[in-house]
Amino acid sequence: MMKKTVFFAVFILGCLAAFSQKPQNIKWLTVNEAQQLQQKEQKKIFIDVYTDWCGWCKKMDANTFNHPVISKLLTKYYHCVKLDAENGDTIYFSNQKFFKMDTQKRTPNEFAVNLLNGKMSYPTTVYLDENFQSLGPIPGYLEPQMMEKILIFFGENHYKTTEWKVFEKNFKGEIIVEEHGY
């Protein structure tokens, strides 16, 4: 009986410790806010291109962006933008205006089309360097362990000296994948 009580107490303490490690809140910005902030503090730009009807986008919000390692890396290396690809507002970026391409409900904004090179897939994460030059769009839902690799690859400038395949092969991250998830 004593062993069960001790085991139960340890289990409860472990659960409380796990739940107390809340992820850092990511400060999501608009495109305009990110450009303004970039003038004060140079970082890379991370853009989460999503739509309000996309189930995988919602899953990535809940699972990936809420992971404490992911939120820490995003906060450390990037100004983070949430971009609804079907946003009807005019977007000003690098002295250009971008409009919604049509009045239809699921028509993308020209800015999203530009970022995704015309390959409209949601979610897609887009990485820009400090000068707003594209490092590339990465389409699809990303599990935390894959996003961790990508965030460090671009955030720590490994992309300048190392091929992705070499980096990925040698990468040792904080997120450990177990049989039951992460």
What's the mean per-residue pLDDT of the chain? Answer: 85
132: left (phi over 0), alpha (psi -120 to 50) or beta: left
Pick from 156, 106, 121: nearest CA to 135: 156
Helix (H) or strand (E) holding 24: none
- What's the number of CA atoms in the CB half-sphere (13 Å) around residue 80? 17
pLDDT at 101: 74
138 near 127, Cβ under 8 Å? yes
| Amino acid present at 7 | F
For residue range 89-132, what is the model confidence (pLDDT) as tens digits? 889 998 888 987 777 778 899 999 999 999 999 999 999 999 99
> Residue 40: CB partners within 8 Å, gap ≥ 6?
none
Three-class DSSP category at 106:
coil
Domain ranges of the chain: 21-142
DSSP states of 61-83 as a string?
Answer: IIIITTSHHHHHHHHHHEEEEEE
21-142 fold:
Glutaredoxin (3.40.30)
pLDDT at 182: 46
Six-digit token pair at 29? 């910005």
113 near 96, Cβ under 8 Å? no
pLDDT band per the 50, 70, 90 thresholds, residue 178: low
For residue range 128-148, what is the model confidence (pLDDT) as tens digits? 999 999 999 999 999 999 999
Which phi and psi (to 5°) does residue 161 adopt? -125, -15
pLDDT band per the 50, 70, 90 thresholds, residue 15: very low
Three-class DSSP category at 167:
helix
